[in-house]
Amino acid sequence: MTTLPRWPAGFIAAVALLATQVHAATPARFAFGAGAAPVGYTQVAPSTTYTPERGYGFEPGTQSGARYFSVDLPEGNYAVTVALGSDTAPSSTTVKSELRRLMLENVPAAAGQTVLRTFIVNVRTPRIAAVPGVAPGEVKLKAPREVETEAWNWDTRLTLEFNGEQNAVRRVSIVPARVPTLFLLGDSTVSDQPGEPYNSWGQMLPRLFGPAVAVANHAQSGETYRDSLARRRIDKILSAMLPGDVLLMQFGHNDQKQAKDGTSGPFTTYKAEIKTHVDAVRARGGLPVIVSPVERRAFDAAGAFKPSLLDYAEAARQSARELGVPFIDLNAMSQALYVALGVEGSKAAFATSTAGKLDNTHHSPYGSYLMAKAVALGMRQADVPLARHLVPDFRFDPGHPDPVTAFTVPPSPGRTQARPLGDDGKRDDRPGAAR
């Protein structure tokens, strides 16, 4: 067996810094297709596969449909401008970023037309930078979930998904963006779900904002306010937060489990942990916004809705009032939405497994799209300043939700399992790397 050399820590740090500088200099303007690339653009052929040495290219392993294009970039917010269209046929292109975050939805272009669209993508790594009140370190990622199947959320690449039956992308330009950030923190109903048929409102929310806001989703499945503190998710957010940034916080589902084992309660520890988060965000000049937990789907035999999270919704409401912060009552809006859809119609808003079992907690893409609209409406109603950057045509009424037939966002195709993150936060793309 070959023994690897043990390099001095200073040498390793220097190499890591050099790698970051090289990746930062990687061309961020790309042209796709057979024609010659415009001046200043790097030509990308369909066969250009991502390698760490190249620093950009198409991700291997897509089963069918969409293409995933990645480029190495340092952590931060980026304005991505795409030129969409085809010389030979009409097209309709949907773009998602990182782990299935919806950016653009079915953008049409006639044959020979070029349509420009710009959106903001947040790129992050687990590293926590030292800022006043926050010690340096790393987020305690969940293994294997976050270091394998969700590694795309934590690596040093910006990944774009080009989707749609007739998707066509001519050019992509990526530049750093100095825009306010809308941070998200919560459980599985908020987090970036890695694959169909599951989805969350946090994945759909970027679609509702124009190119003046970055959405950074730090939610994770199975977690609570207590987990946010223990795993340092809130510290990661605080380390990147600037004055004027906003944090939406929604927990409750998993806090019920803590209450059952006697270690928590909605009107005791839950409220205390909310206050800890609010105080920390305010200390960094940010605006904390409390979101009551989205309801599960449940109806009795007579067709009446049966809520299950009322105590946590009330505790969230009380906390917002006592702490003087904006409040979004997603619990009430989700109830109204399920009732409007009805016993049978509401099933389409929730994920159904390949075995045919309906999950009455986790949403389908259609359901999460509706919940994202409810959250956006709540931001507007609560006068959250970033709500002024919602797309101009935004309208929503939970009592009259869009029908499932109006939902046309294409599903993300399956991918081979993401390669694990290395110690430096990069995915390990070496041949034979562990999976």
pLDDT digits (tens, 9 = 90+) for 280-289: 999 999 999 9
What are the structural domain ranges in the chain? 21-178, 179-410
State the burial class of residue 75 (Cβ atoms within 10 Å of its Cβ: 0-12, 13-18, 19+). Answer: middle
What Rg, from alpha-carbon coordinates, does the chain have? 22
Helix-strand-coil percent breakdown of the chain, rounded to 5? 30, 25, 45
Peptide bond into 197 cis (omega under 30): yes
Q: Which amino acid is at 182?
A: L
From the CB of residue 324, how many other CB atoms can be counted at a distance below 10 Å? Answer: 8
Cα–Cα distance for residue pair 284/280, rounded to 1 Å = 7
Q: Which amino acid is at 402?
A: D
Per residue in 205-229, pLDDT tens? 999 999 999 999 999 999 999 999 9
pLDDT bin (cut points 50, 70, 90) of residue 14 is very low
From the CB of residue 53, how many other CB atoms can be counted at a distance below 10 Å? Answer: 7
From the CB of residue 4, how many other CB atoms can be counted at a distance below 10 Å? Answer: 6
For 250, what's the count of Cα atoms within 13 Å in the CB-facing half-sphere? Answer: 29
- Tell me whether domains 21-178 and 179-410 share a fold: no
Say which CATH architecture domain 21-178 belongs to: Sandwich (2.60)
Per residue in 133-147, pLDDT tens? 999 999 999 999 999
Nearest in space to 85 (alpha carbons), one of 104, 98, 59, 62: 104
Q: Is the per-residue pLDDT at 1 higher than 60?
A: no
Per residue in 33-89, pLDDT tens? 877 899 999 999 999 999 999 999 999 876 566 899 999 999 999 999 999 999 999
CATH value of 179-410 in 3.30.470.10, 3.30.450.20, 3.40.50.1110, 3.30.750.24: 3.40.50.1110
